[in-house]
């Protein structure tokens, strides 16, 4: 948990790294060298497994942002303006969202420094994270609120602008649960009675588990991923595993896009591979929905679309799915040509997921 002093130290380090980066550009100019910035190539082919850290990270291939072309010079110009904005933001102890940064650029005096769209500004912030080795959270940059929540036997203390607040994530929250803050490192875990963490993709399934009292009966912390999980959601999951020594299991729909949600929790995502050690939980296991469940439980299904098939075939070559388990499941799904949602388990009754499916699967996995 970060104290106020720890926060000040992080802020100063982030500002120092940004200024050092800008100084490198200045020194390159002074030496008569064309300014450039080198970053890892963010593609699937440049993802390698770090056996020491047990996560997927970027390999040795790099890309260069160089001012030797008009396009490259504009990218570095935008980087300089963004560095100045972030440094001033840290000086003033302010924060902003990624969306606000995009719109703020429209007020910059140099029109060529303005962003064309938010994807461009988002990518630049990620570039600055990589080269400075500082997270965007330490730049005081926030995404739009993800709304992801946790519910379970966890007692924590959070830092707010009005001081510290102690919260029990069952007794002190409504049915919606405790909303995960943008920077979970400001949370201190005080106590817990949990036996494991269950990350759930959809809001409907999360609500079913809470309504059926699954969190209370099995002493589980239910983390609502809310689709593709935000960085804050993955970070708090990592902390729950590391600091409280809790097993983590991921419960998603049975389709290729949901498998990638699991992969982002367990192995990290391609776009944030530079933060895998910070965000990913390599020990996380996949509980379902599995393609074999579609067959065994005769679940209601939808046919695989062409994009689903292409995604599954791509996952057969994805380094994050190179295990016998995933190869068998993906090949089975391609063979049956079907996909199923978590809520398809309701075809066997509203209580089937909490009374039968999850207890049996978690028992097989050795979690229960």
3-state secondary structure of 56: strand
Q: Which of 103, 278, 325, 357 is catalytic?
A: 103
φ/ψ of 290, rounded to 5, equals -100, 150
Look up residue 346 and give its two tokens: 């309701």
Measure the CA–CA gap between 328 and 316, rounded to whole angstroms: 10
Q: Cα angle vertex 356, ends 202, 339, to 5°? A: 45
Q: What Cα–Cα distance (Å) separates residue 229 from each residue in 165, 252, 261, 266? A: 25, 12, 7, 11
- 240 close to 197: Cβ distance less than 8 angstroms: yes
Give the residues across from 163 on adjacent strands.
160
3-state secondary structure of 32: coil
Q: At what angle do helices 324-336 and 306-315 cross, to 10 degrees?
A: 160
- 55 close to 238: Cβ distance less than 8 angstroms: no
Q: Cα angle vertex 120, ends 114, 125, to 5°? A: 95
Measure the CA–CA gap between 285 and 250, rounded to whole angstroms: 6
- 131 close to 37: Cβ distance less than 8 angstroms: yes
Q: Which residues are annotated as a binding site for Mg(2+)?
A: 201, 253
Look up residue 184 and give its two tokens: 């979970």
Dihedral sign, Cα of residue 355, residue 358, residue 361, residue 362 = negative
Q: Which residues are annotated as a binding site?
A: 201, 253
Catalytic: 103? yes
Chain position carrying tokens 């890892």: 40
DSSP 236-266: HHHHHHHHH---EEEE--BSHHHHHHHHHHH
φ/ψ of 51, rounded to 5, equals -65, -30
Measure the CA–CA gap between 147 and 230, rounded to whole angstroms: 9
Q: Which residues are catalytic?
A: 103
């Amino acid at each position: 948990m970060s104290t106020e002093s720890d926060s000040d130290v992080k802020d100063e380090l982030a500002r120092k790294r940004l200024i050092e980066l800008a100084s490198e550009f200045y020194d390159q100019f002074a030496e008569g060298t064309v300014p450039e910035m080198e970053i890892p190539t963010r593609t699937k082919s440049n993802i390698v497994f770090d056996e020491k850290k047990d996560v997927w990270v970027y390999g040795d291939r790099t890309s260069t942002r160089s001012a030797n072309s008009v396009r490259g010079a504009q990218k570095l110009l935008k980087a300089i303006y963004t560095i100045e904005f972030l440094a001033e933001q840290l000086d003033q102890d302010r924060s902003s969202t990624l969306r606000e940064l995009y719109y703020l650029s429209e007020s910059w005096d140099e029109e060529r420094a303005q962003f064309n769209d938010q994807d461009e500004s988002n990518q630049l912030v990620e570039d600055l994270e990589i080269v400075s080795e500082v997270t965007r959270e330490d730049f005081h940059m926030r995404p739009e609120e993800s709304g992801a929540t946790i519910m379970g036997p966890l007692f924590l203390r959070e830092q707010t602008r009005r001081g510290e607040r102690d919260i029990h994530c069952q007794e002190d929250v409504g049915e919606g649960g405790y909303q995960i803050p943008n920077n979970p490192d400001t949370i201190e875990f005080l106590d817990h009675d949990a036996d494991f963490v269950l990350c759930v993709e959809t809001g409907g399934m999360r609500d079913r588990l809470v309504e059926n009292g699954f969190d209370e009966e099995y002493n589980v912390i239910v983390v609502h991923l809310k689709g593709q999980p935000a960085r804050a959601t993955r970070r708090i999951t990592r902390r729950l595993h590391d600091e409280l020594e809790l097993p983590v299991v991921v419960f998603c729909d049975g389709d290729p896009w949901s498998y990638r949600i699991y992969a982002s929790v367990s192995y990290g995502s391609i776009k944030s591979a530079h933060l895998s050690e910070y965000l990913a939980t390599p020990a996380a296991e996949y509980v379902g929905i599995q393609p074999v469940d579609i067959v065994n439980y005769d679940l209601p299904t939808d046919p695989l679309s062409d994009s689903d098939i292409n995604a599954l075939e791509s996952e057969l070559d994805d380094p994050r799915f190179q295990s016998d388990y995933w190869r068998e499941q993906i090949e089975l799904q391609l063979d049956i040509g079907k996909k199923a949602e978590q809520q398809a388990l309701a075809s066997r009754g509203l209580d089937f997921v909490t009374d039968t499916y999850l207890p049996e699967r978690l028992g097989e996995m050795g979690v229960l």
